[in-house]
Copies of this chain bind each other. A is one copy, B any other.
C-alpha cells in the first residue's frame, strides 16, 4: 500500500488488515439514482457523496479509509419521474447493516456513512438503532451533506421554497461535476409557498407534524427552488464547508 492508498477496494487483504488494526474509520458514500429535474443527472446524490467522501479521506489519510460507494438509495417519493430507481427501506437497511457488520467482523470498529440523499437519513438512523442492540462495540455514524452547511445555504439567499435540485444542490454539482449539469436546461420549480398545492403548502409550513408527499405532487418538473441562481462560488463554498466540518468531526473522533 502506498502511503496515499485510501480506498478499501484498492487495498490487498493484508493492507485492509493493517488499516483495521490502525483503527482507521471507514467512510462509506451512499447516493441515489433518482430524478434531478430537467438539467441534472440521476446520479447527482451519488456524485456529491463521492466527492465529499473522497475529499474527507484524502485530507485525513491516517484516520480514514474510503469504502465502496452505494449508488442506489431510498427514493419512493421520486418514483413518479422517469429514471428513478428506489430500494425499499427494508432492503436498504439490510444492505448497509450487513456491510457495517461485515466491516466490524474484519476489525474495523468505526464507520461513517456520507449520504448525498436525504431520503436515506431515516433508514440510516434505524440502522444505527438496531446496531446498538446487535453490535454494541461498533461505532456507527452518518452524515448528510447540505444540512451540515445550512447556515451557508441560508445566508446565500435561496428561495422560500427550496430543496431538491434547488440553488444549493445545483451549486454543489457545479463544483463536483460541472460537465453533468445541462445549464441550458436549468429551470425553476415552485419557489414560493403559494406555488404549491394546498396540501403540499401545509406539509411544508411546519417541520412537525411531518407529512411526506410524492415529488410529483410537489412540483411539475421535479425541482424545488430556482437552480438558475446557483453559482460555482456557492458550490465551492458549500463543498468546502461540508468537507471541513466532517473532517473536524472525524478527526476528533479518531483521537478518542
Contact = CB atoms under 8 A, between A and B. Distances in A.
A39 B10 contact: no
Contact of A84 (B13, B39, B70): B13
B89 A126 contact: yes
Interface stretch (A139-147, A188-196, A225-233): A139-147
10 contacts: A8-B83, A12-B41, A76-B132, A88-B133, A89-B126, A89-B129, A125-B212, A126-B126, A202-B252, A209-B249
A37 interface: yes
A7 B119 CA distance: 23
- List 10 A-B pairs, minimum CB-CB distance, nearest first: A9-B43, A16-B83, A122-B125, A17-B82, A68-B71, A143-B209, A85-B102, A141-B211, A13-B35, A89-B126
Nearest to A209: B143
Interface string A106-140: 11000010000001011111101110110010011
Nearest to A177: B10
A227 to B, nearest CB: 12
State how many copies of this chain the complex holds.
Answer: 6
A93 interface: yes
Interface string A53-87: 00000000000000011111010110101111111
Given A11-B83, A245-B206, A256-B202, A132 B77 contact: yes
A68 B211 contact: no
Interface residues of A, number: 99
A91 B89 contact: no
A91 B83 contact: no
A103 interface: yes
Given A42-B8, A83-B17, A212-B132, A91 B88 contact: no
Contact of A36 (B13, B39, B71): B13
Interface in A203-256: 203, 206-212, 214, 222, 245-246, 249-250, 252-253, 256
A71 B10 CA distance: 12
Contact of A211 (B14, B139, B185): B139
A119 to B, nearest CB: 7
Contacts of A222: 13
Contacts of A16: 42, 82-83
